Amino acid sequence: MDLKKEVQYIKGVGPSRVKLLHKLGIGTLEDLITYYPREYEDRSKPKNIAEVLDGEECLISAFPVRTNERNSHSW
């Protein structure tokens, strides 16, 4: 796979999509796979609640211990 390949030669990328990608500064396959949106959130490293610092934004994994079935609706 050639990372220097122009986006216009990638299967499924048409002329209108190429224009949009160029506006974002994406010209090659490498640019495309290393592009992160402005507000990218890294969700690859969840923390335990005990590790979280006051005011820190992070990802935690949680599950309900008990539910109130009376208010649970599955529409």
> In this predicted model, what pLDDT tens digit does every residue of 24-69 receive, in sequence order?
999 999 999 999 877 877 788 888 889 999 998 888 888 888 877 6
CA distances from 43 to 40, 47, 57, 60, 61 (A): 9, 10, 11, 9, 11
Question: What's the pLDDT score for residue 33?
Answer: 92
Q: Which residues contact 3 (CB under 8 A, 6 or more apart)?
A: 28, 29, 30, 33
Tokens of 43: 């969700």
Q: What pTM did the predictor assign?
A: 0.51
Long-range contacts made by residues 41-49, C-beta under 8 angstroms, separation at least 24?
Answer: none
User: Alpha-carbon distance 54 to 9, whole Å?
Assistant: 48
